Structure 1
């Protein structure tokens, strides 16, 4: 099923959750993630010169190699997340298409990360696998 971004965020995040949970590689690389600490993510797609709409926020619950929940967030200030990953729409698009590495994008300032950098580096292969899962979702970009 093809989903559109940013016009169908609910459909996208549901497909993303299913893709993560179907990934044996994520199950392996994410083992231990979120065990004993809050491993949940808030993703923020920010407006830019390509997409001039409102920011889009996704919550992705992650624990021990599983995506426990995922949904579109109306008010990010009301969410209990351990990590936030923020960037502009065009950068997210490139990330999902495999043109930007998630860890390098964070290190070079393309994306902003709030959370324990040491944990992210410890589980960097899980972050890469999550991005690969995002690229597996059949998405068509509106802009």
Structure 2
């Protein structure tokens, strides 16, 4: 299992995308003559609301029980300062790496995951330490809660239709490649994932839309038509 949202999870996702035959089938021409890179923006990461004790058991498993009991109430927002440079080398490697990623990769409560994509090939994956340092042709915004739902099998189409996901980029190209949005979510759900943060409870409205748009192997035609109409509403053309 790989912790989400971390650099390790993104690397696994990138490998699965690159190996996807379905992506090869539907992405001919993607990124040819235009910037096809995709930025997944994970908003509202709850650092101040999450304590070390709230994390999955494996994160603190290597800490002695007495030490673990003494740090369980420290929030992730407090942890980088609480565990300074003299203390960190004594912590388990998984905790040290998590503290580093919190400091380097979370900006204004968001994680920016950059995926280089050209036709069916993934050219790079990177969690950005400076979101302003580079551009992407398409930005997909969603809260951590929304992304967690997609990893658990919620169709990305449903999240788009309910505005839980928003997409910025050339709308004409998005219309042409509407089915890619669904596939990107399906591949994400294939990664064996442990959520670093607690998952939300179910939403009746969301479950109704999910059921109506849930695909089989790829995005169904009905759902794709709904996505197309949604993107057309956003398009100035």
Match of 1:52 in 2: 46
The corresponding residue for 2:170 is: 116
1:140 lines up with 2:134 in the alignment: no
| 1:45-124 equivalent positions in 2, closer than 5 A | 45-47=42-44, 51-53=45-47, 54-99=109-154, 101-124=155-178
For normalisation by structure 2, the TM-score amounts to: 0.55
TM-score, normalisation: structure 1? 0.88
Structure holding more strand per residue: 1
TM-fit CA distance, 1:79 = 1.4
Residue 107 (structure 1) shift: 3.7
Cα separation, 2, equivalents of 1:77 and 1:109: 24
Higher share of residues assigned helix? 2
Q: How far does the alpha carbon of each residue in 1:2-37 deviate from its partner, in whole angstroms, 9 at most, with x for none? A: 11013xx11111101110111111111112111111
- Distance in 2 between residues matched to 1:74 and 1:91, nearest whole Å: 22
Structure 2 SS opposite 1:34: coil
**Contact preservation (8 Å) 1:33, 1:64:** yes
Distance in 1, matches of 2:14 and 2:140, equals 17
**Stretches of structure 1 lacking an aligned partner (at least 5 in a row):** none
State the Cα RMSD in Å.
1.4
Larger Rg: 2
Tell me, in whole angstroms, the C-alpha distance in 1 between the residues paired with 2:146 and 2:134: 24
For structure 2, the 5+ residue unaligned runs are: 48-108, 198-237
Distance in 1 between the 2:161 and 2:2 partners? 29
SS of the equivalent of 1:74 reads coil
Runs of 4+ with deviation above 2 angstroms: 101-108
Q: Distance in 2 between matches of 1:126 and 1:109?
A: 17
CA drift of 1:117 comes to 2.0
